[in-house]
Structure 1
């Protein structure tokens, strides 16, 4: 192998990889790479952006070591350069108010909500990882994970975390340029600048930022022209080592966006905000009540939390309504008052037919996994355990043969489903957290 030139070794590596990966993956990640020059025994590759470099090293380092020589330090004899056409142009440090046009950026910037800070964010098992990662990013923006992608259902705290990052960065890094915007506002901004023929000014503005916070990226779906400009801005900032945080109601792979943009978003730190468990919902209710200046008895908080469980925003709305009603009517907070005041918000059971697809969707949301993974043959614990929970629920809630139920899980056998049901049935008796997760899944299915 050592008698071959680095170029010949690279060609052999490409031939091997092309046979293993899909045509789309090869075209996205390997076709754009160009050979530069040979420096003694080192292979120099020209890549269009840092994403391709990171993808190659993170996913194919072991394979590369089989084809390329290794230095005395143990590192591959490999170096990279970024294509000149993709390098970000150096920008002068111009104040934001000079870069922004009066009719666009200042008007569209999202003002950070003063209540959306880390101090007011109630942490629980469903959001602990997201909060920890967000605090790390806000402490050292652009250093740990230059891209963070936060996804989760409506009203679970994605915007709260986004604004919390903005607050902390502005507080601790006063010289950094922080900009928070919704995807809809970004689209409107682009339209305005196209109309006013000031697109270059908009590009300079966004590429001058140190921290870009983008809310609700799902609104970029089915808008290819706007998506392309966002992707260019995205790449420019990442190549400069700047920080980007994006929120969405779905993980990247479930968005109807280009493979190019999805691949870049999946390259970053992808974190899910799940539905809060019962204790977290109780803590949220009591914290919101404290902010409003009234005491919420723990028994009442548990009663409300057991009936409102899908949406943190609804919990806050329940506290606002309950507080206003009791103050105006001069009533003490009792369960009867809660039922009469919040009854229409309570999520009660219905008689709709439950299907395996509904179960998979509910379990995927609670455990933060993809529906496609639950139906796949992946055996890692973070996927196989939720899959077993889904099988348990299917047997418990659907009156059908084991064979037909199992086939809905990607063609599994009835013995696999029966084994999963027995395992979860045994665990649920002694695992309180699992019992609550299953109860939550049942409520989601019945709501």
Structure 2
């Protein structure tokens, strides 16, 4: 191409031979093929579990206060969507609700690897919905939650007085239940005491509602010794009972006490004694002399205020004034005594724990509306304390 079109021009500045021909050789080099390396997609590592690995059924200390709810949780984890659905767990702060949720999650991940599972707080669900609304991706969020096989949601009480969010959660909840997908809910109150719509309450009471009670003294001691063992610190039985007698309504506070004693023991290389525990934990705990409240104390005070006999309260009379006083006594016994429901109920002439719960629920609701009853209960409490 060059010689045919530009020969004269090339001869004017390039060397030529005797024949007048260009003394130049043109060589067309072959283009070297570049080794194109295909971009390697990063290998997606398995998402780290959102569940606390320390929270398992094996590490959950069982006692009369939580035996039933632990069995229910294990049943749900073993056969998701086929036993109790939904499972509603309620109890006070620090009694082990979150531990049970994570225990279920860890069990499902280990034994049902193909199931899609999610554990969130109610606040997180609300935040996800707000973000989805802002980014106009509500359908994507709905698809995510409604395609789960197991949904665990904590602190459902924070859904109160948030009607729009409640409606979306209720729709998600119903969608999962209708697909036989497992739903587990945790709250600090039973469904009937939550300020939610009747529709929502009815759905939550559809399955099994289970209550975690305050652990009894022996269970608290077992928890202290178990936590101490995991911290590699020796807590004498005397010290364990000393702490357990003063911390009874919050397991997290028990853990905090053990953490402080463990740190002190390791740093100073000393054994934990009762004197050390009392001195070290005095800022953390309120070491007031304990006053034991008995069923007899409650019966005497209730009988005095309502002007009836103790034998009538323990009996089977269905007279309105006696039945009402009996229910008040049962309410106070559940509120003030740490024993199991079954043991408390048996003190009322062999009544069942369901009768006790019914009385407690009824009086709890009446106190909110009946000022006279509320004052009577306060008088009885003061009499017991004094």
In the alignment, which residue of structure 2 is the partner of 1:413?
321
Q: Alignment partner for residue 305 of structure 2, among 391, 401, 409?
A: 401
In the alignment, which residue of structure 2 is the partner of 1:254?
193
Distance apart, 1:416 and its partner CA: 7.5
C-alpha separation in 2, matches of 1:235 and 1:420? 37
C-alpha separation in 1, matches of 2:244 and 2:153? 30
Distance apart, 1:161 and its partner CA: 0.2
Distance apart, 1:393 and its partner CA: 1.6
In the alignment, which residue of structure 2 is the partner of 1:165?
104
CA 1:191–1:420: 2 relative to 1, 3 Å: closer
The CA deviation string for residues 305-331 of structure 1, in whole angstroms up to 9 with x for no partner, is 111111111111110011112222333
In the alignment, which residue of structure 2 is the partner of 1:325?
264
In the alignment, which residue of structure 1 is the partner of 2:121?
182
1:128 aligns with 2:67: yes
The aligned runs of 1:306-325 (5 Å cut-off) are 306-325=245-264
Distance apart, 1:394 and its partner CA: 5.8
The CA deviation string for residues 17-60 of structure 1, in whole angstroms up to 9 with x for no partner, is xxxxxxxxxxxxxxxxxxxxxxxxxxxxxxxxxxxxxxxxxxxx
CA 1:335–1:242: 2 relative to 1, 3 Å: same
SS at match of 1:213: strand
- More relative contact order, 1 or 2 (CA 8 Å, 6+ apart): 2
Q: Alignment partner for residue 83 of structure 2, among 130, 144, 152?
A: 144
In the alignment, which residue of structure 2 is the partner of 1:209?
148
Distance apart, 1:110 and its partner CA: 8.3
C-alpha separation in 2, matches of 1:268 and 1:415? 30
1:228 aligns with 2:167: yes
SS at match of 2:210: strand
SS at match of 2:233: coil
SS at match of 2:283: helix
Question: Conserved in 2, the CA contact under 8 Å of 1:121 and 1:160?
Answer: yes
1:302 aligns with 2:276: no
In the alignment, which residue of structure 2 is the partner of 1:338?
277
Distance apart, 1:134 and its partner CA: 0.6
C-alpha separation in 1, matches of 2:326 and 2:140? 62
Distance apart, 1:300 and its partner CA: 1.2
Distance apart, 1:145 and its partner CA: 1.5
- Normalising by structure 1, we get a TM-score of 0.58
C-alpha separation in 2, matches of 1:412 and 1:156? 36
C-alpha separation in 1, matches of 2:286 and 2:208? 33
* Moved segments of 4+, more than 4 Å: 347-351, 414-421
CA 1:190–1:135: 2 relative to 1, 3 Å: same
C-alpha separation in 1, matches of 2:326 and 2:196? 38
* Structure 1: gaps spanning 5 or more residues: 1-97, 99-105, 352-362, 364-387
SS at match of 1:343: coil
C-alpha separation in 1, matches of 2:196 and 2:117? 26
The aligned runs of 1:25-424 (5 Å cut-off) are 111-348=50-287, 393=298, 395-396=300-301, 401-403=305-307, 412-413=320-321, 417=325
Question: Conserved in 2, the CA contact under 8 Å of 1:307 and 1:348?
Answer: yes
Question: Conserved in 1, the CA contact under 8 Å of 2:303 and 2:325?
Answer: no
Superposition RMSD in Å: 3.7
C-alpha separation in 2, matches of 1:217 and 1:269? 16
CA 1:299–1:148: 2 relative to 1, 3 Å: same
SS at match of 1:209: coil
C-alpha separation in 1, matches of 2:171 and 2:207? 16
The aligned runs of 1:427-446 (5 Å cut-off) are 434=343
C-alpha separation in 2, matches of 1:122 and 1:114? 16
In the alignment, which residue of structure 2 is the partner of 1:101?
none
Larger Rg: 2
CA 1:418–1:155: 2 relative to 1, 3 Å: closer
Question: Conserved in 2, the CA contact under 8 Å of 1:150 and 1:272?
Answer: yes
The CA deviation string for residues 152-189 of structure 1, in whole angstroms up to 9 with x for no partner, is 00000000000000000010000000101000000000
Question: Conserved in 2, the CA contact under 8 Å of 1:308 and 1:345?
Answer: no
Distance apart, 1:404 and its partner CA: 9.6
C-alpha separation in 1, matches of 2:125 and 2:223? 32
SS at match of 1:191: helix
- Normalising by structure 2, we get a TM-score of 0.67
C-alpha separation in 2, matches of 1:344 and 1:118? 33
Aligned residues: 287
* Structure 2: gaps spanning 5 or more residues: 1-43, 311-317, 348-380
